[in-house]
């Protein structure tokens, strides 16, 4: 995965939003997903998305199981 600089403006009060892929791409989704696991020791996370074509890629990057 290509690594980009994280744009802090994508973080909102209750979600993460940005322009795909310039502000919020697969690499950012993966990194946010890893934070939940590593820092917060989350075992179950609910992920919502809409029907835009980028949603599937972002979901898969966020929810990848590396174990």
**Boundaries of every domain in the chain:** 8-62
pLDDT at 5: 73
Report the predicted TM-score, pTM, of the whole model to 2 decimal places. 0.78
Residue stretches of the chain with pLDDT short of 70: 1-4, 66-67
3-state secondary structure 4-56: CCCCHHHECCCCECCCCCCCCCHHHHHHHHHHHHHHHCCCCCCCCCCCCHHHH
- Check residue 35 and give its pLDDT: 86
């Amino acid at each position: 995965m290509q690594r980009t600089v994280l744009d802090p403006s994508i973080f909102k009060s209750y979600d993460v939003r940005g322009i795909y892929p310039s502000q919020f791409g697969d690499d950012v989704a993966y990194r946010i997903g890893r934070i939940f696991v590593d820092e917060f020791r989350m075992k179950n996370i609910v992920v919502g998305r809409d029907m835009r074509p980028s949603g599937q890629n972002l979901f898969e990057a966020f929810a990848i199981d590396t174990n």
